[in-house]
Amino acid sequence: MAPRVKLEKAAWLWVESVKPEDIKQEHIELAYRINIPACKRGICRRNCKGNPNCLVGIGEQVWLGEIDENTFHNIDDPNSERREKNIFVGLTNLGATCYVNTFLQVWFHNLELRRSLYKCQNSRAQEHNIDSDYEPQSICEHLQYLFALLQNSNRKYIDPSGLVKALGLDTGQQQDAQEFSNLFLSLLEETLSKEKNPNLQNLIQQQFCGQFFYVTICNQCGRSSTLPSRFYELELNIQGHKNLTECITEFLKEEKLDGENRYFCENCQSKQNATRRIRLHSLPPTLNLQLMRFVFDRQTGLKKKLNTFINFPEQLDMEPFLERKLDQKCVYELSAVLIHRGISAYSGHYIAHVKDALTGDWYKFNDEEIEKMEGKKLQLGIEEDIAETGKTQSRKPKCSKGYHCSRNAYMLVYKLQEEESSDSLRTNVEVPSFLQKLVDQDNHKFEEWCMEMANMRKLSVDKGRAKHEEVKELYDLLPAKDGEPYEFIPLDWLKKWLDDSTATKEIDSSIFLCSHGKLHPDKMGEIKRVSLQAAKLLYERYGGGPRLDGSSLCRDCVSERCRVLRLKKQLDEDYKEISNLVKRMPSSEGYWVGKASLRSWRQLALEQLEEDDDESRHSNGQTNGQGPHTNNKFGLDVSGGAEDETETFNEDIICNHGGLSILEAERKLVSTEVWTKLREYFPKAPEFPHIQEPCRQCLTLEQEEKDNEAVSKMMALDQKNQLLNLFHEKNRPTLIKWPQGTDRLYIVPLFFVEEWRKFIRRPTKSSPVSNVGNSLLLCPHGGFMFTYDSLINGEAQHIALLWPNEWEVISRLFIVDKPIVIHCVRQTTPDSSTTLYTTQPDLCWECRESFLFQQQRDLREYTQATVYIRKVIEDKMTAKDGTPELNACSSEAEEEREELPKVDGDKDPDFSQSQDGAKRMKLNDSCEASAATTSGTSMIKSGGIRRSTRHRKLRGEKALIVSANQTLKELKIQIMHAFSVAPFDQNLSIDGKGLTDDSATLGSLGVIPECIICLKADEPVTDYAAMDDAYQVRMPEEGFKGTGLLGH
């Protein structure tokens, strides 16, 4: 099918030969494209919007044919959430809580711990009403309920958020798993100690607690000292070791105490060299061996992970490591392996391999996913397949039978080997009835949810099947046959009807009506012609309206469009004729036309015709081009003169007083013949015959403006001659070296001098200065805000100094609100001579102190300020001789040649409006410039060329945006991204003072806006994993601070 634009043009080709009054029914049907052939499926790739008979590609392809019923819904099978037979229940990962889930699964499989926890008193659960949700409070209550759900829940996995919330853990931050284990067991031990049942008070100690002795022997006297200590886990160093035996042996190895680490012997009563070792005394039923994979790196100041392989046995005989041979059994069986996947200590994932104490089967617990290992064997699998940071990858060592090897295992749990017993009380753990009631309540909710999901799936499938039958029935009825009755249905509604994801609403055809209440011909691209039978069925099922049929074709709209199109064709001919007439020799008679109007008259005329057409579409456009420009929908070239087009024809030569503009360059005299043709298109356009005189008011104002410019030039010349040195910046007084021959100098705002110079340079473009405005330099009490010392030390950036004779001229030419004088008084005595400097008005000490306080406060409390980081090498600036960076600022070269800086009281940030409307200076800017010079500012060189005060970046220097409350650690992270220097390689300083406290704020360290921080980088560390950790650690570690594990 032809493109839409071609179909639209073809629908109106007949207007060239048919006048509006001669339109017949066949022309109306052509305009509405009634007889365009319908498209066939398989030939038309997408729906033809220009063809109202094309019903292909509107979404029907989804329904025609056999459909899988699963496409009718997006609801997963609820049984996929159901617990599988002989598989344990998983735990939901709440974000970064995998480390919590692994330990909960390990503790759940400790049968003695689970059995004892079930015995804890829980009156809240026993008295709970099943009509409401159970909310445990204490840690024991949470563990009871969680373990009961893990044991008998019908769900595939349960949500541990109740326990996590009770502990106050941040679900989005991964914590140290070993620290969590220690803190949680300590919290549980403290909680159980308050139980009334004495068998529960020492449960944690009975299960996990062992004892060893620190034995220290003095080398001098041989005295032996023994110190007992309890342990809940043995922390084993793995660095440099290959198997678990080596790690335990090193843990028990003898240690020498010498040098600064000497031992104080009570027998010798002095520090002596000694030896110390650990002697295992007793072992717990559950032996936790912590493999120290996460260690502190002194070089980087961060934790790092040791990805080294460690070999460990399934059976561990601890008897060789006990000094005293006890009657207790010392053979342990491996019951759990906790794995950390990842190369960094600050990221990764935790999983657990746990052995079922009842069946001996091994399971992998990965949050929600539980996997049973085949053959009752531990299979670490892909948990060992991680990328290494080094250039070479170490191969996994071969393991003997009964041994396993891992470089990710960080904790091994061994259970004391027991003789096989048929006592079901020792092997089976029953859920108490009061907890089982809560589990049954949760299971009932789960079954209700499964049933609800299944019903929703069934409803969706039934609805989809009904819709499928409806579409197959109606789609074949949609095409309208030639000569038979038809109606129009909106295309958008048909698409939504065929889109099962959206609810089908009633049919709305009101937006397709013209101003005559019928179908607008311009809407044929948004509507489809269907058979009367199909339309009847659709309206019966979905309702809506108004219904549009063959009688809805609008003759009035077609006639109006015919008239407009014929006029547009005539417009092309008139445009050529007028263009030729205008090019002829100008005549002395005729009419004045604006040049902009003459350039754009064709466009304005076209818009006028289009707006006439838009009136039938409820358009808000105004006539004669006054409203918004409409789109050129007819493909005519109207681009000429668009850049200076006028909104209304010939109004571009009307002045503000309604008369003819005095600007002859903006108008052109055209012949009467041209004007007559233009009036046919713009009958309301303003008319100015050639005898029309320009506006007299405008002529008078023009003459007055010329007179005022002459007066301003004379005034500027007179003021310049009287204050020639002030204008040229010559022979200026200074404060550092007081000039001879005078004991006083006058002070005015630099703003006044700059505004005056601006007027002298361009008197016709700038307003004359009338007021000196010394109140800018005074406080609200009328006192002066500066001291002599502060002025020579940098605060003179807003003042200008005048000679007494210049002040006399200033006082005569301008209005002076308050004179400001600085006096030099020399006092001579026989012994010495002193010089005093005073000001009039006197200094206001109250406001001065307030200003200094605010100034210091602004330096300590700032946000979004700029500081400059300058990288140095071997204590030398990287920028040779301080050469400015070539691309530091594109305007630096121009800035060197600029005159004094523009100080605009309305725009300059150093000035603000006071309540009485007068401009007051903000006294909050510190200045590092040198002493005041000739004009009272420190920015003038001897040659009268300004020295820029803008900071110039040097090579190797970068600007960063910081805040006062930001820590030094955060700044180092920013510097790392800017310079690719890790935080631990950064040595920062300001004016030789080192910045070392990473937790301190920049404000407390004396970092102020616009300051320069020197960066000296140490040699880079080759450990790329440490660099990765630096990216991860952006704030100082707080661990479990603020959580329930530490009692908040």
Active site residues: 98, 349
Residue type, 649: F
Query: Using CA atoms, how far apart are residues 162 and 137, in angstroms rounded to an integer?
Result: 9
| Three-state SS sequence of 385-447 | CCCCCCCCCCCCCCCCCCEEEECCEEEEEEEECCCCCCCHHHHCCCCCHHHHHHHHHHHHHHH
The one-character DSSP state at 123 is: H
CA atoms within 13 A on the CB side of 628: 5
* Token pair of 137 as six digits: 């409070």
Q: Which of 900, 729, 740, 909 is nearest to 801 (CA)?
A: 729
Q: Which of 747, 709, 720 is nearest to 823 (CA)?
A: 747
Query: Using CA atoms, how far apart are residues 938 and 795, in angstroms rounded to an integer?
Result: 9
The one-character DSSP state at 1001 is: B
* Token pair of 976 as six digits: 């790392």
Q: 749 CB contacts (<8 Å, ≥6 apart)?
A: 772, 773, 774, 776, 777, 798, 799, 800, 921
Residue type, 723: L
Helix (H) or strand (E) holding 148: helix 139-152
* Token pair of 495 as six digits: 């698409």
3-state secondary structure of 174: coil
Contact 999, 968 (CB under 8 A): yes
Contact 513, 40 (CB under 8 A): no
The answer for 47, left when phi > 0, alpha when psi is -120 to 50, beta otherwise, is: beta
Q: 1012 CB contacts (<8 Å, ≥6 apart)?
A: 867, 868, 870, 957, 990
Report the interhelical angle of 139-152 vs 98-108 (nearest 10°).
80
Query: Using CA atoms, how far apart are residues 339 and 384, in angstroms rounded to an integer?
Result: 9
> Phi, psi at residue 384, to the nearest 5°?
-95, -10
Query: Using CA atoms, how far apart are residues 1001 and 970, in angstroms rounded to an integer?
Result: 9
Distances (CA, A) of 461 to 104, 458, 468, 618: 41, 5, 10, 45
Please state, as a whole number, how many other Cβ atoms lie within 10 Å of the Cβ of residue 900.
18
Q: Which long-range contacts (CB under 8 A, 24 or more apart) does 849-853 make?
A: 851/785, 851/923, 851/924
Please state, as a whole number, how many other Cβ atoms lie within 10 Å of the Cβ of residue 592.
21
Strand-strand pairing, 403-406 and 369-372: unpaired
Helix (H) or strand (E) holding 370: strand 369-372
